[in-house]
Chain A
Amino acid sequence: MFNRRSLMMAAASAFVLTAAGPAAAQDAIKIGNTMPYSGPASAYGQIGRTIEAYFNKLNAEGGVAGRQIEFITYDDAYSPPKAVEQTRRLIEQDEVDVLFQNLGTPSNTAIQKYVNAKKVPHLFLATGAAKWNMPDKFPMTTGWQPSYQTEGAIYAKWIQENVENPKIAILWQNDDFGKDYLIGMKEALGEAADSLIVAEAPYEVAQPTVDSEVLSLKASGANVFFIVATPKFAAQAIKKSHEIGWEAERFLSNVSVSVGAVLKPAGFEASKGVISAAYLKEATDPQWADDPAMAEWRAFMDEYYPDGDQASSFTVFGYGVAKTMEHVLEQAGEGADAQAILEAATSMDHVENPMLLPGITMTTGPTDFAPIEAMQLQRFNGETWELFGEIIHAESS
Chain B
Amino acid sequence: MAMSDETMTGGASGSAKAAPVPKGRAAAAGGKSTLGQAVFVILLLGALALPFIFKNFTIFQMTMLMVYAIAILGLNLLTGINGQFSLGHGAFYAVGAYTAAIMMENLGIGYVWTLPVAGILCFVVGFLFGLPALRLEGIYLALATFALAVATPQFLKLTPFEHWTGGVQGIVIIKPDAPFGLDAVLNADQWLYFFTLAVGLFLYWLARNLVRSRTGRALMAIRDNPIAARSMGVNTSVYKATAFGISAMFTGIAGCLGAIVIQFVAPDSFTFALSVAILVGLVIGGVGWLPGALLGAAFIVFIPNVAEEISKGLAGAFYGFFLIAVIYLAPQGAGGLLRALVAKLGR
A residues within 8 Å of B by Cβ?
1-3, 6-7, 9-10, 13, 37-40, 73-75, 77-81, 84-85, 88-89, 92-93, 105-106, 109-110, 112-114, 174-177, 202, 204-206
Q: Are B302 and A2 in contact (CB under 8 A)?
A: no
Q: In the bound complex, how far is the Cα of B308 from the Cα of A73, in angstroms?
A: 10
- Contact-residue bracket for chain B: 35 or more
Q: Are A37 and B262 in contact (CB under 8 A)?
A: no
Nearest residue in A to B264 (C-beta to C-beta)?
Answer: A110
Q: Are A80 and B305 in contact (CB under 8 A)?
A: no
Q: Are B266 and A110 in contact (CB under 8 A)?
A: yes
Q: In the bound complex, how far is the Cα of B271 from the Cα of A78, in angstroms?
A: 10
Tell me which of B268, B305, B306, B322 contacts A106 (CB under 8 A). Answer: B268
Q: In the bound complex, how far is the Cα of B268 from the Cα of A84, in angstroms?
A: 13
Q: Per DSSP, are chain A's interface residues mostly helix, strand or loop, or mixed?
A: helix
Tell me which of A2, A106, A114, A204 contacts B269 (CB under 8 A). Answer: A106
Using known A-B contacts A7-B302, A10-B302, A92-B56, determine if residue A1 contacts B262 with beta carbons closer than 8 Å. Answer: no
CB contacts (< 8 Å) of B56 on chain A: these are 88, 92
CB contacts (< 8 Å) of B258 on chain A: these are 81
Tell me which of A3, A79, A109, A112 contacts B298 (CB under 8 A). Answer: A3
Q: Are A113 and B263 in contact (CB under 8 A)?
A: yes
Q: In the bound complex, how far is the Cα of B315 from the Cα of A253, in angstroms?
A: 34
Q: Of residues 246 to 283 in B, which have CB atoms within 8 Å of A's CB atoms?
A: 258, 262-264, 266, 268-269, 271, 273
CB contacts (< 8 Å) of A85 on chain B: these are 60-61, 64
Q: Per DSSP, are chain B's interface residues mostly helix, strand or loop, or mixed?
A: helix
Tell me which of B273, B303, B325 contacts A39 (CB under 8 A). Answer: B273
Q: Are A81 and B262 in contact (CB under 8 A)?
A: yes
A273 to chain B, nearest CB (A): 32
Tell me which of A74, A79, A89 contacts B57 (CB under 8 A). Answer: A89
Q: Are B269 and A81 in contact (CB under 8 A)?
A: yes
Q: In the bound complex, how far is the Cα of B170 from the Cα of A88, in angstroms?
A: 20
Q: Are B169 and A109 in contact (CB under 8 A)?
A: yes
Q: In the bound complex, how far is the Cα of B326 from the Cα of A89, in angstroms?
A: 26
Using known A-B contacts A80-B266, A81-B262, A93-B57, determine if residue A3 contacts B295 with beta carbons closer than 8 Å. Answer: yes
Q: Are A176 and B169 in contact (CB under 8 A)?
A: yes
Q: Are A204 and B158 in contact (CB under 8 A)?
A: yes
Using known A-B contacts A81-B258, A92-B56, A175-B157, determine if residue A6 contacts B322 with beta carbons closer than 8 Å. Answer: yes
B330 contacts A by Cβ under 8 Å: yes
Can you list 22 A-B pairs, Cβ within 8 angstroms, ordered by A? Answer: A2-B329, A7-B298, A9-B306, A13-B306, A13-B309, A37-B315, A38-B315, A74-B308, A77-B304, A88-B56, A88-B60, A93-B55, A105-B168, A106-B169, A106-B170, A106-B266, A106-B269, A109-B264, A110-B172, A110-B262, A110-B266, A176-B168
A130 to chain B, nearest CB (A): 12
Q: In the bound complex, how far is the Cα of B60 from the Cα of A106, in angstroms?
A: 20
B235 contacts A by Cβ under 8 Å: no
